[in-house]
Amino acid sequence: MKKPIQSPKIVVSAYLQEALLNEYGLRVIEARPVKSVWQLNTETGLYCLKVVTHRRKRLKFVLGAMEYLVKSGFHELARLVPTRDGRLFTKVRHHIIFLTEWVEGHKCEFARPADLAAAATTLANFHRHARGYSPPEDSQYKVMWGKWPAILQARWESLTQYKEIAWAKPIKTEFDQLFLTHYAYYHRQAELAVRLLEQSPYAQLVEEGARAQSFIHQDVAGRNFIIAPSGTALLIDFDLVRYDLRVLDLLRLVERTMKKCHWDIKMANLALSRYQSVSRLTPAEWEVLLAFLLFPQKFWRIANRYYTKLDEYSPKQLLQKLEKIISRQDRRHQFLHSFAWLYCQRWLD
C-alpha cells in the first residue's frame, strides 16, 4: 500500500492518492494545505484540490458557471481540470472533490491601488461574460431577482424590534447603551435606503437581468482575487455564485475597499473608473447601488447577532465590532454624501 503523503496539517490518504491517479491521471508528489484548499505538486505540475461540502446539485451549478465563463471568453480564473472521462467533479468515498489549475501570485489587497485597479477590471470583465447561463439540468441554485426590497424592509423593521428589546432591559449592558445611543441615526439611514430602492428603477433592472440570465460572484473580497506576476487579477472561489444584479458585486467591492481605506472616496473612484473602462453602469444602476450603500448592513448584522443569536457569538467581540463601526460613522457619512452627489447628482437628507 502507498504511504500517505504528509503535509503540515493534512494527510493525503492513500485512497485519495489512488483516486487522483485513477480519475485524473495525476501522480501526487507532495500536498500542501493553503487555507481551504490543497496545493498538489504532481509529475505534470501544480493543481488545486478542493473538497466541497456542497450537495452535488449545487456543485453542478457552480462548476457549470465556471465552465460557461471560459467558453464565453472569460479567462481570468483558475480553469477546471476535468477527470479522464470529462467530469467536472468526482466522489472519493464520502467526499466530493474537484481540481483546478494552480494560479501563482499574491492575494489582492484592496488598499493597494494597483491591486484594486486590477480587481475592478477583472470584475467588470467577469460581469460582461456572466450572462446567458442556463442552469444545468437537475442543478440547484439561488435566484435573487426582485427579493431585495422585502429583505431590506424586514431588516429595517427589525432594528426597531432590537431597540425595544434593549429598552425593556432593567439593567442595560454596554452594548445596549451604545446601540440605543446611535439607533436613531442608523434607523434613519435604513429607512432612506428602503425608500430609495422603492423609488429606483430596481424592478426594471431585475426584469432585464432575469431576461439576460445574469449571474454574480457574490463574495467579492481581496482573498478571492489572486494578482498574477503579470499584474492581472484572477477571480477564484465561485462557491456563492447566484443569479442577481451586478451592482451587488460592486457593493461588496466598494464596501470592502472603504473598510480598508478609511472611507476615502478617491479609492472608490479608482475602482469604479477602472470598472467603467470595461463595462459602464447605467444611471438606473447607480441609483440602485446608492440605495444598497446607504443601508447600514454592518450595524444591522451586529445588532441582529446580539439580540437574536447571542449564544453563538461573544458579547465582548460584538461590542468591539459595534464600537469600530461607530468610530467610522463620520467618515462613512461623508463618503455617502460625496458618492450620492458625484454619481447620482443627489443630495442626501
Write the pLDDT tens digit of every residue in 248-270.
999 999 999 999 999 999 999 99
Distance of CA 58 to the CA centre of its chain: 17
Tell me what pLDDT residue 156 has.
99
Taking residues 323-349, report their average pLDDT: 95
Tell me what pLDDT residue 12 has.
59
Taking residues 230-234, report their average pLDDT: 98
Superfamily of domain 113-344: Aminoglycoside phosphotransferase (APH), C-terminal lobe (3.90.1200.10)
Residue 76: half-sphere exposure toward Cβ, Cα within 13 Å: 24
DSSP state of 219: -
How many other C-beta atoms lie within 10 A of the C-beta of residue 102? Answer: 19
DSSP state of 222: G
pLDDT value at 88 more than 50: yes
d(CA 341, CA 329): 19
pLDDT value at 4 more than 60: no
Question: Of 2-6, 103-107, 217-221, which gets the smallest average pLDDT?
Answer: 2-6
Cell matching residue 250: 460592486
d(CA 160, CA 163): 5
d(CA 290, CA 193): 8
One-letter amino acid for residue 197 of the chain: L
pTM above 0.85, yes or no: yes
d(CA 257, CA 118): 13
Taking residues 68-84, report their average pLDDT: 97
pLDDT value at 332 more than 70: yes
> Of 205, 59, 207, 225, whose CA–CA distance to 126 is shortest?
225
Write out the E strands in 175-272: 215-216, 225-227, 233-235, 242-243
Tell me the average pLDDT of the chain: 94
Phi, psi of 216 (to 5 degrees): -125, 165
Long-range contacts of residues 13-19, Cβ cutoff 8 Å, at least 24 apart = 15/92, 15/93, 16/92, 16/97, 19/90, 19/92, 19/97
Tell me what pLDDT residue 324 has.
97
pLDDT value at 2 more than 60: no
Tell me what pLDDT residue 8 has.
37
Tell me what pLDDT residue 269 has.
98
Tell me what pLDDT residue 9 has.
38
d(CA 12, CA 187): 51
Whether 5-102 and 113-344 share one fold: the answer is no
How many other C-beta atoms lie within 10 A of the C-beta of residue 39? Answer: 15
Residue extents of the structural domains in the chain: 5-102, 113-344
Write the pLDDT tens digit of every residue in 10-67.
455 677 888 899 899 999 988 888 888 999 999 999 999 998 877 899 999 999 999 9
Tell me what pLDDT residue 310 has.
87
Superfamily of domain 5-102: Phosphorylase Kinase; domain 1 (3.30.200.20)
Report DSSP letters for 23-81, one per residue.
II---EEEEEEETTEEEEEETTEEEEEEEE-S-HHHHHHHHHHHHHHHHTT--SBPPEE
Taking residues 277-298, report their average pLDDT: 98
Question: Of 9-13, 57-61, 90-94, 214-218, which gets the smallest average pLDDT?
Answer: 9-13
* C-alpha distance from residue 146 to each of 77, 142, 162, 205, 248 (Å): 29, 12, 26, 9, 13
Phi, psi of 148 (to 5 degrees): -70, -40
pLDDT value at 198 more than 70: yes
Question: Of 14-28, 129-143, 149-163, which gets the smallest average pLDDT?
Answer: 14-28
Tell me what pLDDT residue 174 has.
98
Percentage of the chain modeled with pLDDT above 70: 96
Taking residues 277-290, report their average pLDDT: 98
Taking residues 149-176, report their average pLDDT: 98
Residue 74 · residue 235 · CB < 8 Å: no
Tell me what pLDDT residue 204 has.
98
> Of 338, 305, 42, 15, whose CA–CA distance to 179 is shortest?
305
Question: Of 143-152, 156-165, 304-313, which gets the smallest average pLDDT?
Answer: 304-313
pLDDT value at 274 more than 90: yes
pLDDT value at 7 more than 70: no
